[in-house]
């Protein structure tokens, strides 16, 4: 006999989002010794999935990935929502709590269409709608041209196959979760930095829902949680938005976290980088790192970082 539904997990309905929700369900069922039927997946078509012809920053930013699920949580239609953490606004409603971060996957970007950024042909067209990726490409290869690319992984790979661009960039974690790990070449940190919170799946619930928070705590990975929250704290302190070219990576060794970040001008001509090493959970260190980065940056960069009150 099927078990009683213990949790209703909301998720976007895209293939990658569903794969992430399936992973969250599997981890919850393993942690609580539940049958798979105890966790119901409740898909929604997010606003961000409905509009594919314009960059996300032009149509409402990261809120387009979360607003339907936020509403369903408020209405009690779901108990928790599964998110790709790099797509979650930096400032969240106080009524919601990020109760779990699952063990983080490969955080790197993957280049599809060439063995490395240096191997791109002269004048290559690189398909991306991410300001971070565009700025890093143009910083390393100012001869390249950026072609706007949106859509899920399959859509972007199809656009590449149709020669709408010579190369594109995708998240290694997303490719892995879709069984496409063999696609493209992962880019090493020494030449390319990923997005804040890339590779991390988060599960969010109503802050007042103690039962759900306790159930989700069983699948929270402490190391991944520390890294993701530090990266989000730096993004908040910088006031970064969907328009802000920022890249970062963090590493946890024992109780010490190393956070390395770079800011770019959108055209890639200017770049500043800094690194901080601090105790895990130190909330002041990301703010200090943000101040250091912005103090070193010129107007072409700082124009795109407006302080924590503007973070989205």
Domain-located, residue 91 = yes
Percent of the chain scored above 90 by pLDDT? 84
Give me the CATH number covering residue 91.
3.40.190.10
**Are 95 and 21 in the same domain?**
yes
Q: Per residue in 243-294, pLDDT tens?
A: 899 999 999 999 999 999 999 999 999 999 999 999 999 999 999 999 999 9
Domain for residue 83, yes or no? yes
Same domain, yes or no: 175 and 248: no
Whether the per-residue pLDDT at 205 is higher than 70: the answer is yes
Rounded to whole angstroms, the Cα distance separating 305 from 79 reads 34
**Domain residues for 89?**
7-102+200-220
* CATH code for the domain in which residue 281 is found: 3.30.160.40
pLDDT the model gives residue 240: 81
- Enumerate residues 6+ apart whose C-beta is below 8 A from 158: none
Shared-domain flag, residues 95 and 120: no
Asked, for residue 36, whether it belongs to a domain, the answer is yes
pLDDT band at 193 (very low <50, low <70, confident <90, very high): very high
Q: Examine the domain organization and report whether 97 and 214 are in the same domain.
A: yes
Is 13 in the same domain as 44?
A: yes
Q: Identify the weakest region by mean pLDDT among 144-153, 191-200, 250-259, 263-272.
A: 144-153
Query: Directed axis angle between helix 15-32 and helix 153-161, to 10°?
Result: 140
| 78 and 209 co-located in one domain | yes
195 within some domain: no
- Chain-wide mean pLDDT for the chain? 91
Whether residues 68 and 207 fall in one domain:
yes
Flag whether 228 is in a domain: no
Inside any domain, residue 191: no
Residue 78 lies in a domain: yes
Count of domains observed in the chain: 3
Q: Kindly state whether residue 246 falls inside one of the protein's structural domains.
A: yes
- Judgement on whether residues 174 and 59 belong to the same structural domain of the protein: no
**Looking at the structure, do residues 68 and 208 belong to the same domain, yes or no?**
yes
Average pLDDT over residues 179-188: 93
Query: Do residue 165 and residue 91 come from a single domain?
Result: no
- Identify the pLDDT of residue 234: 97
What is the per-residue pLDDT for 150? 80
> Catalytic site residues?
87
Instruction: Examine the domain organization and report whether 78 and 208 are in the same domain.
Output: yes
In angstroms, the CA 246 to CA 262 distance is 6
Q: What is the pLDDT of residue 122?
A: 98
Question: Does residue 60 register a pLDDT over 50?
Answer: no
Using 50, 70 and 90 to split pLDDT, how confident is the model at 309? very low
Q: Are residues 22 and 91 in the same domain?
A: yes
């Amino acid at each position: 006999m099927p078990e009683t539904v213990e949790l209703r997990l909301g998720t976007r309905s895209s293939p990658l989002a569903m794969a992430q929700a399936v992973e969250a369900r599997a981890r919850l069922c393993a942690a609580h010794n539940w049958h798979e039927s105890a966790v119901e997946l409740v898909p929604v078509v997010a606003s961000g999935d409905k509009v594919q012809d314009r960059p996300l920053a032009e149509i409402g930013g990261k809120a387009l990935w979360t607003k339907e699920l936020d509403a369903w949580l408020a209405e009690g239609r779901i108990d928790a929502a599964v998110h790709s953490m790099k797509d979650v606004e930096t400032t969240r409603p106080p009524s919601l709590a990020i109760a779990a971060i699952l063990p983080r996957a490969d955080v790197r970007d993957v280049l599809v269409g060439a063995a490395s950024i240096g191997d791109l042909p002269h004048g290559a067209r690189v398909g991306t709608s991410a300001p971070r990726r565009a700025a890093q490409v143009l910083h390393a290869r100012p001869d390249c041209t950026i072609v706007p690319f949106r859509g899920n992984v399959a859509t972007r790979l199809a656009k590449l196959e149709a020669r709408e661009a010579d190369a594109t960039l995708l998240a290694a974690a997303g490719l892995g979760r879709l069984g496409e790990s063999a696609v493209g070449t992962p880019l090493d940190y020494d030449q390319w930095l990923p997005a804040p919170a890339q590779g991390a799946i988060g599960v969010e619930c109503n802050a007042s829902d103690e039962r759900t928070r306790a159930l989700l705590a069983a699948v929270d990975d402490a190391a991944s949680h520390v890294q993701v929250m530090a990266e989000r704290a730096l993004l908040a302190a910088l006031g970064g938005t969907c328009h802000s070219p920022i890249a970062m990576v963090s590493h946890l060794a024992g109780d010490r976290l190393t956070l390395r970040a770079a800011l770019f001008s959108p055209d890639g001509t200017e770049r500043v980088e800094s690194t901080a090493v601090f105790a895990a959970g130190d909330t002041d260190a990301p703010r200090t790192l943000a101040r250091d980065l912005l103090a070193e940056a010129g107007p072409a960069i700082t124009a795109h970082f407006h302080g924590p009150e503007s973070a989205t």
